[in-house]
Each structure stands twice: as C-alpha cells, then as structure tokens.
Amino acid sequence: MTSLHDRTALITGGSKGIGRGIAAAMAAAGARVVVNYGHDRRAAEETVAAIGDRAVAVQGDVGDAADVRRMFDTAGPVDILVNNAAVFSFQPIGDVTEKEFRRQYDTNVLGPFLTIQEYLRQAPERGGSIINVTTAGVDTNNPGSALYTSTKAALTSLTRIAAQEFGPKGIRVNAIAPGATETEGAAALGVLDSGAMAARSVFGRAGTPADIGPVAVFLASEDARWITGEVVHASGGFR
C-alpha cells in the first residue's frame, strides 16, 4: 500500500466533496491531515470526526494572505499541499459580472498562488509535493463555463511553471483534472441532474470523491517521485 507515513498534508477546501475524499484517502495512507475550510465549520468538524485523530480543521480564506499565513502557522510544517478550494457558477460570457469574475479568480487562482508562496516559505528540506485540482472541462469547451474553466486553465499553467521552478528544491508539482463528479457543489447547481454530464464518461456515470482521493495519494507519494508538471485526468474518460 502506498504510504504517506510521517507526512503532513494541508488540503484547502477539504471539508466537502473532492477535498474531503482526498483528506480521507491521505489519512488512510498514514498522513496527518489539515482540513482547511472557508465558512462551513460543521462540515469541517464532520470530516475531521469521520477521519479520526489524524485530522484537524483550520478555518481560512485562501484568497487572503493573512489567513493563508495563519493557516500554515497553525498547521505546522507541511509536506503536501493540495489546492482544492474553488468556487464556481456557470453563465454565458455576456452575463458574467465583475463581482463574480473577481470572486472566482480570487479563490481559484489567487488562492493557489498565496498558498504556494507560503508553502515555499516553510518548505521541508526533504522536498515535498503540491497537487492542484483543476478540471477536465478545460479541454471540453462547454458553453457557459468560460469563467470557471479559465480559472482552472490558469491553475494548469501555474502547475507546469511551478514544477520547473521548484524542481531544484525537490518539490514536485502536479494537477488532477476530474470530470463530472458528485459533490455538494454540483448538487446545489443541479449540473448532474439531467444525466448528460455523467453520460460523457465512458463508464456512464459521474465520478465520486472516492475516485479522486487515491490519485492524490499516489501523486503525493514516493511512488510518483519521477512525476512532475503533469495533469492527470481522473475523469472516467470524460469528453
């Protein structure tokens, strides 16, 4: 079994959905898990309770530099950073407001920049792993998704450039691109209700957080020591 023993993982947006699945999988692999959440304390506490004594919850807005520094100071030395926190909504380009644009870019792009910068400030000498959660939607050009997928396209670019910059420090940087996935956010927006998105997987179903967690564990582990700058499409063949 892949081991993350003696490693500490900080998962942003770790209280729900894909983040929760990654937190649970990393804890099961032996990591100490720090579950970051923005506002929903109850969900974070439920996630920590489900995982057990290998998990703690830390509140913080990833788009706020002071919050990010406090998160890392509270977490202690972090070996594995998972940038999962994201917000999204879908509308035609002409309907996107400046307020919504800034909301998504502040969380989905500025957030990972700030967390990566803070990670570097206290990066472990033994090297480490950064995993960014993007989306397979970057490659599918769905109408109405320009704002959200453009934030994830930016994160994909950040992944590849960071891998080049941080390689000499022994830090690997990769991304996971899920397809349609059953999460609280997807349910709230009804994006899976028609079944059309699930049907775009070759397996005829939407993914689950449990499908994504083991991929993150692999990328964080020594088994992936020769992998950096890559985007793993954990999407069930979503096209």
Nearest in space to 135 (alpha carbons), one of 220, 80, 197, 78: 197
Q: Does domain 8-232 sit in CATH 3.40.980.10?
A: no
pLDDT at 33: 98
pLDDT at 126: 80
| 132-146 average pLDDT score | 93
Active centre residues (catalytic): 148
Q: Give the model confidence (pLDDT) of 56-98 as tens digits.
A: 999 999 999 999 999 999 999 999 999 999 999 999 999 999 9
Question: Average pLDDT over the chain, rounded to whole?
Answer: 94
% of the chain with per-residue pLDDT over 90: 82
Q: Which residues, including other chains, have CB under 8 Å from residue 37's CB and lie 6 or more apart?
A: 13, 14, 15, 43, 44, 57, 58, 59, 60
- Rounded CA gap, 74 and 70, in Å? 6
Q: Give the model confidence (pLDDT) of 176-230 as tens digits.
A: 999 888 887 777 666 666 677 777 888 988 899 999 999 999 999 999 999 999 9
Residue 158 class from Cβ within 10 Å (0-12 exposed, 13-18 middle, 19+ buried)?
Answer: buried
Q: Which residues, including other chains, have CB under 8 Å from residue 239's CB and lie 6 or more apart?
A: 140, 200
pLDDT at 189: 64
